[in-house]
Amino acid sequence: MTHDQRQALLDILRHAPLDIGGDIGEQRVIFHDMIASVPLPEDVSTNPGELGGVPVLTVETPHIDPSTVILYFHGGAYALGSAADGAGLAADVGRRAGARVISVDYRLAPESPYPAALNDAVAAYRALLDQGTPSAAIAFVGESAGGGLVAATLVAIKAAGLPQPSSATVFSPWADLTVSGGSAAGKAAVDPALTADGLGRRALDYLGDTDPATPLASPVFADLTGVAPLLVQVGSYEILLDDAVRLAARAAEHDIEVQLQVWPGLPHVFQGFAAMVDEADVALDAAAAFVKAHLGVEAAPAPAERV
C-alpha cells in the first residue's frame, strides 16, 4: 500500500457527511447515499427473500458454488444500513470465497431494540439449517456492528443447541457496547469515521435499559467456549481496535481457533475500499482463504466444562 492510497482513503472518510451519532433519519439517508454512489458490478445479482420470517438478500456472483453459503451481517451501529447497503462488500467476499451470500436484513434500533437483531440472526440461521443446508457449508461474515452480531449469534446458537457454522469472519467488530476499550480514547485522533460519543448514542438506541455489558450485546464479555473458528480483521486507525483485540483474546482464552490481523494505518472496515487500497484487497483475499479453508469442515464438539 502506498502512502498516497492510505491518505486518499483517510481524507475521503474525514470529509464524509456521515455522523454516526447524528439524527437517525438523516444519517440513514446519508449512509445509503454514500454507499449507493458506488454501483454494484454488473455481474452481481441480488434477490430479496426471507428466512425464518426475516428479510434477506441473496447476493451472487459468477462461478460460485451455490451449495456453500456465507450468512452476512451488515454494519451501521445497529441503527443504520441494510442488506442492500452491505451488498457491495458482501458480493466481494462471496466472489473471492466462491460462495453464495445471504445477507440478513435484521431489524434496526431504536424502532426494534435489543434483542431484535440477535433474534433475527438466529432465526435466519435456524431456517437455513431447516432448509437442509448443513452447518459445515455455512460461514458467518460481518462488518462493524454486524461483526459484533456475528460473535453474539455464535453464542446464542450454542445456547439454543444449534450446530456452529464452519467459521466466522469479522471486520472491525463493534463487540463492546460499553465503549470502554482503551482505543476509544487512544485512537480518537486518528479515526476518521467513528467517535466514542456517537457509538454511545447508538448503543443507547439499541440497548435501552439493558446493561451494555450483557454478553449477547457485547460478546467481549461472553463465554466463547465451543464457538466456530474465528478470523478478526481490524485497522490500527480506529477506535474499535481494542474491541477486535479483546474479542480475539477472549476466543483464545476459551480455546477457540482464532486469527487476529491488525492492518497498520487503516480505518474502520477498510475492506470496503479494495478498489483503491492494495492492503484492503489483500485482506479480503485472506478472509476468503479463511472461509474456504473451513467450509465443509464439521465444527469440533465443545470441550468439557472446566471444574
Q: Residue written as cell 460460485?
A: 64
Q: Residue written as cell 461483526?
A: 147
Residue 56 covered by a domain:
yes
In this structure, how many other beta carbons lie within 10 angstroms of the beta carbon of residue 55? 17
Residue type, 33: D
Residue 205 covered by a domain:
yes
Residue 304 covered by a domain:
no
CATH number of the domain where residue 272 is located: 3.40.50.1820
Per-residue model confidence (pLDDT) at position 291? 98
Per-residue model confidence (pLDDT) at position 277? 95
307, pLDDT greater than 70? no
In this structure, how many other beta carbons lie within 10 angstroms of the beta carbon of residue 296? 13
First to last CA, the chain: 48
Residue type, 201: R
Residue 45 covered by a domain:
yes
Per-residue model confidence (pLDDT) at position 132? 98
Report how far residue 73's alpha carbon sits from residue 168's, in angstroms, rounded to the nearest whole number.
11
Residue 300 covered by a domain:
no
Number of structural domains found in the chain: 1
Give the pLDDT band (50/70/90) at residue 285. very high
Q: What is the mean pLDDT of residues 30-56?
A: 96
Positions marked active-site: 144, 238, 268
HSE (CB half, 13 Å, CA atoms) of 155? 22
298, pLDDT greater than 90? no
Residue 73 covered by a domain:
yes
Mean pLDDT, the chain, integer: 95
Report how far residue 104's alpha carbon sits from residue 80's, in angstroms, rounded to the nearest whole number.
14
Q: How far is CA 225 from CA 54, 249, 300, in A?
A: 28, 12, 11
Q: What is the mean pLDDT of residues 10-25?
A: 96
pLDDT tens track for 61-100? 999 999 999 999 999 999 999 999 999 999 999 999 999 9
Give me the domain span that covers residue 60: 3-294
Give the angle subtended at the CA of 251 by the CAs of 73 and 101, to the nearest 5°: 20
| Long-range pairs of 285-289 with CB within 8 A, sequence gap ≥ 24 | 285/96, 286/231, 286/233, 286/261, 287/93, 287/96, 287/97, 287/141, 287/169, 287/171, 287/231, 287/233, 288/93, 288/96, 288/97, 288/98
Q: Residue written as cell 439493558?
A: 210
In this structure, how many other beta carbons lie within 10 angstroms of the beta carbon of residue 25? 8
